[in-house]
Structure 1
């Protein structure tokens, strides 16, 4: 078994695709409209689906907004430098909601950004040696 994708419902697909591809620098892997069901699926990621997990952005044509609820946490992305990543994301119009810095009860450098629908994305700075996370 392997993890294939995580699905997020988005209110405006073009806005979300711009965020994930232009701000977070993912690639649009595939996109398909389902007119009979009135929805579109778009898959984005850093690698091909055969190589790693990706995000499925689901846009229901008749829904422009969702309640996120209180059970959802975040998506995590490893970055080389969390401080520089925050700067790049801000320059591209992204929203940084927690600046880069050490986590509260550890030394791992993290930051949080928010996508256009309010989903949180954690940026985790790569450690010097693999496997050293707090």
Structure 2
């Protein structure tokens, strides 16, 4: 077994695709509209679905907002340099909600950014 994807519901698919592709540098892997069901699925990631876990962005056409709830935590991404990644994300219009630095009670350098729907993305510096 392996993890295939994580699904996130998004309000504005174009805005979310811009964030994941232009701000975080993922590739759009595939997109399918389901008019009879009134939803669209778009898959984004850094590698192919055959080799990597990806993110499924689900846009339900008639839903105007979602509550994130308090059970979901975040999606984590490995980066070479969390400080540089934060700067690049900010330059591209992304929202950094926790600046890069050592995590509490440890030495691992982390940061958090937020996507357009409020989902947290953790950046974990390799090494």
Do both share a fold (TM > 0.5)?
yes
Query: Aligned partners of 1:66 and 1:109: how far apart in 2?
Result: 31
Tell me if structure 2 keeps the 8 A contact 1:10–1:64. Answer: no
Alignment of 1:118-129 (within 5 A): 118-127=118-127
Query: Aligned partners of 1:111 and 1:65: how far apart in 2?
Result: 26
The CA deviation string for residues 24-43 of structure 1, in whole angstroms up to 9 with x for no partner, is 00000000000000000000
Query: Aligned partners of 1:37 and 1:126: how far apart in 2?
Result: 41
Aligned equivalent of 1:131:
none
Secondary structure of the residue aligned to 1:55 is strand
Query: Aligned partners of 1:64 and 1:84: how far apart in 2?
Result: 34
Does residue 1:29 correspond to 2:29, yes or no?
A: yes
Alignment of 1:34-113 (within 5 A): 34-113=34-113
Tell me if structure 2 keeps the 8 A contact 1:4–1:53. Answer: yes
Query: Aligned partners of 1:81 and 1:65: how far apart in 2?
Result: 34
With normalisation by structure 1, the TM-score equals 0.94
Query: Aligned partners of 1:78 and 1:13: how far apart in 2?
Result: 24
Query: Aligned partners of 1:105 and 1:28: how far apart in 2?
Result: 36
Which structure 2 segments of 5+ residues have no match? none
Tell me if structure 2 keeps the 8 A contact 1:94–1:115. Answer: yes
Tell me if structure 2 keeps the 8 A contact 1:24–1:89. Answer: yes
Q: Considering only aligned residues, what root-mean-square deviation do their CA atoms show, in Å?
A: 0.3
